[in-house]
Amino acid sequence: MYVDFLVKESSVFTVDPVSSYISLYGTDHFSKPDQTLRLIAKQLLSVCATLGEDPIIRYQVTENDDPDDHRPRAPPATRQLANILQNEIDDFCRLNRNFPPPRNPPQPRATLLIVDRSLDVNAPILHEFTYQAMINDLLPVEDTENGTGIKYSYSFNQADGSIGEKEVILDEDDEVYKSIRHLHIADCTDRLIEEFNKFLEENKTAVQSGDRSGPPKDSAKSLKDMKEMLGNLPQFQDMKAKYSAHLSIAQECLSIFEKHKLNSVGNLEQNIATGETPDGETPKTIVLDMVPLLDDPYVSPADKARLLMLYIISKENGIFEDDKHKLLEHAKLKGEFRDAVNNLNLLGVQITKQRRKAGEKSSRKRKDRKRQQDETPYELSRYIPQLKKVMDAQLSNTLEASQFAFTRQSDMDPADDGGVPSSNPGIPQSGVSLRTTKPTWSKKSTAVPGGGGQSRASGAKLIVFVLGSLSYSEIRSVYEVADMYNRDVYIGTTDIMRPTKFVEETGQLRLKTPTIKSLIPAYVPPSPPPTSSKVSSLLPHMPHMNNNSSSHLSLSNLSIRSGSGSNPTPESNKNVDDKADKKKKKGLKKLFG
């Protein structure tokens, strides 16, 4: 099987090396500019081969110019990777004449979009308040050994009043987790009660026969009811354990939410990232609201760094150097968190600007922002990842070719991809602004009810690859877009980063790229069989050998050499083999007449 990637979820995969964020965006990448990209391309070829796709490859067109860095720069990584991958796929197709395999019914070619982290620097920094994202952001979780889930240990009250410890694994084998992982935390408890009542209905007879505490209840109306009913279901230990675990996890997330003042932090982050308040007004007190949070000891250093980074990102022309220094002093950031703020320019963000001279006019353009309140009902979840807008534009055939180029001009020709009709689907009729255009997926009605887990064969697949890192909000967006368009959509990266890790690694971008061992161990050839005295002792008894000369025993293709003196010459070996063959033929002749 040609599988050189790791499947994290049903629609999510990762490739090596996990150090590529630092190696691609850091200052150390000039020494070996395309070594990482060639490794990634080989693994993306494996993804395409597994899916049976020779995809149309498009890549984000990026301006890779840093005004503070005057060294010669390689072409943008997205273009390099796209071209290397195109060559790999072309070679693979030449060697495999039957690739891609025929499909019945026929299906159009997939599209593979390659983007880098500069597309959206906000997404990996923002607090995300959906269940899966909160768990990975706020709780001390660890990846499972196979990399397809996470482990979390929590405390709970036992029947005898003591405190117990339990470890739970959250992955796609947990149907309860799958049903709530992309929900806003405010909806999780309602969904848990809803799923629990559905379970009760499906197992009504067994539940009623096992409830000895009084008249059986038909359903849980609250978390309190749910806890009481879980205690009376000893015959459903696995299901009881799952619901109990998710109740504990959700409550722990909400506890941290309150303790670290994430309501205030999250609301300010949303105002900064979206450029508007929940009422749709332009926020005018960002700094006044931010300084008390930077001074607050209950706000963690990582959260303070995230606030400052978002603020600088929102100022497209940067902030004044002295203002940056004052904000850093308020936050009292040290080490990697302080360096992360100063390293934003390596992700294409302008950090500082010069003060204008007297009489000089500002060149700043007024941003045209459009409200998105109808699509984001929660004030703390108003920001829509830019990648979601890109996927929406691709699936609706409106992705601007000047922003996402093709590796082949021929792939721009009109083709029926099973999506929204267009007079020329390959070349968009109108561009999509990644900053101001309202996404259109909320208007789509192509999803089949209840078809979230079914194969989406109504159109071409979409494969998205993010160079460097991927956030949980972007993962959630993939599932949402796939459901809205009734398509197979997959997303991959070199590393799925939790926000704190993203900030820490951004702080390391000016350091030497760390050497990280591959998950796949290097091939070690088997050692030759040991030469033992037993083998040597048998040699004198061989009919064609003696003790005084070097000897050679040929058993099919296995050779064992022994004896003293110099190694036998090819001629002597040939003579010995010829004698052995003659004896063998002579013996066969006697045996068979």
CATH number at residue 182: 3.90.830.10
- Mean pLDDT score, 119-136: 97
Phi-psi region of 418 (alpha: psi -120 to 50; beta: other; left: phi over 0): left
- Listed in sequence order, the DSSP H helices in 96-184 are 131-138, 175-180
The answer to whether position 241 is within a domain reads no
Residues 463 and 410 in one domain: yes
pLDDT at 576: 55
Residues 404 and 514 in one domain: yes
Q: Residue 355 burial by CB count (10 A; 0-12/13-18/19+): exposed, middle or buried?
A: exposed
pLDDT at 501: 95
The answer to whether position 70 is within a domain reads no
Identity (one letter) of the amino acid at 387? L
Label residue 16 by pLDDT band (50, 70, 90): confident
Q: Residue 541 burial by CB count (10 A; 0-12/13-18/19+): exposed, middle or buried?
A: exposed
Residues 86 and 25 in one domain: yes
Q: How far apart, in whole angstroms, are the C-alpha atoms of residue 219 and residue 196?
A: 8
Q: SS3 of 133, please?
A: helix
- Mean pLDDT score, 300-328: 95
pLDDT at 139: 96
The answer to whether position 382 is within a domain reads no
pLDDT at 193: 86
pLDDT at 433: 41
The answer to whether position 72 is within a domain reads no
Residues 515 and 393 in one domain: yes
Label residue 220 by pLDDT band (50, 70, 90): confident
Residues 135 and 116 in one domain: no
Residues 198 and 170 in one domain: yes
pLDDT at 562: 39
The answer to whether position 412 is within a domain reads yes
pLDDT digits (tens, 9 = 90+) for 141-188: 999 998 899 999 988 777 677 888 889 999 999 999 999 999 999 898
pLDDT at 234: 67
Helix axes 131-138, 237-259, angle to 10 degrees: 70
Pairing of strands 352-353, 319-320: parallel
**Average pLDDT of the chain, as a whole number:** 79
Backbone angles phi, psi at 119, to 5 degrees: -60, -40
The answer to whether position 379 is within a domain reads no
Label residue 17 by pLDDT band (50, 70, 90): confident
Among the residue ranges 106-120, 156-170, 299-313, 470-484, the one predicted with the least confidence is: 156-170
Label residue 445 by pLDDT band (50, 70, 90): very low
- Mean pLDDT score, 55-76: 67
Most confident of 54-63, 347-356, 584-593: 54-63
| Domain residue limits at 555 | 543-592
Residues 93 and 208 in one domain: no
Judge whether residue 352 has pLDDT over 50.
Answer: yes
Judge whether residue 432 has pLDDT over 70.
Answer: no
Q: How far apart, in whole angstroms, are the C-alpha atoms of residue 280 and residue 523?
A: 59
pLDDT at 277: 94
Residues 6 and 93 in one domain: yes
Label residue 66 by pLDDT band (50, 70, 90): very low
The answer to whether position 113 is within a domain reads yes
What SS3 string covers 259-303? HCCHHHHHHHHHHHHHCCCCCCCCCCCHHHHHHHHHHCCCCCHHH
Closest listed residue to residue 349, CA positions, set 513, 509, 168, 216: 509
Among the residue ranges 13-22, 46-55, 455-464, the one predicted with the least confidence is: 455-464
The answer to whether position 267 is within a domain reads yes
pLDDT digits (tens, 9 = 90+) for 477-523: 999 999 999 999 999 999 999 999 999 999 999 988 766 555 556 66
- Mean pLDDT score, 100-105: 86
| Of 128 and 3, the one with more pLDDT | 128
Q: How many domains does the chain have?
A: 4
Label residue 558 by pLDDT band (50, 70, 90): very low
Closest listed residue to residue 378, CA positions, set 267, 511, 463, 244: 267
- Report the CATH number at residue 331: 1.25.40.60
Residues 136 and 188 in one domain: yes
Among the residue ranges 273-282, 298-307, 413-422, the one predicted with the least confidence is: 413-422
Residues 109 and 136 in one domain: no
Residues 274 and 217 in one domain: no
